[in-house]
Structure formats: C-alpha cells, structure tokens
Amino acid sequence: MRKSLLALTLLSISLSSNAAFAQQQRSGTAEEQKACARDVQKFCRPVIDQGDFTILACLQQNRPKITPACNQVLKNHGQ
C-alpha cells in the first residue's frame, strides 16, 4: 500500500511556480489516491519500484483500461 501511495504522488505534481503550492499538491488527495490505487496495482505493479514518472507513463499507456475515476485524476493534473 505504501508503494501505491508513493506512486500516486506523481498524479498531483503541480506545474505552478509557487513552490509551497506545488509541495502541498504533491501528495494528492485521499480521493485521488484511492481513485488510482487499484489501477496502479493492476497495470503498473512490475514498474512500481521504478519511480513516479515511470508509473505515470504506465498509467498513460494503459489509459484505455484504467477506471474512469483514475482517468479523471490524470486529466485534472494535466496528464
């Protein structure tokens, strides 16, 4: 579960130049983490230890298969 939460931090990286805002958004909300946790486990388990950007790429690669909720999280964060 810890790895899933770490993996989901990438979903809320802000492109804002405000460092404090970006730091606050980095962990994602509990709802965002929950929305993608199963998709990360299901589709990205083999790359879960390879870093946030690899997991993001995995989710994007599997976009047609991920849940609508996780897809919306990606959209909400410009992905």
Per-residue pLDDT, 4: 52
The reported pLDDT for the residue numbered 78 is 92
Give me 17's structure tokens.
């130049």
CB burial readout 28-51, b (16+ within 10 A) else e: beeebbbbbbebbeebbeeebeee
Tens-digit pLDDT string for the chain (79 aa): 555 544 555 444 333 333 333 333 445 789 998 999 999 999 999 999 998 899 999 999 999 999 999 999 999 999 9
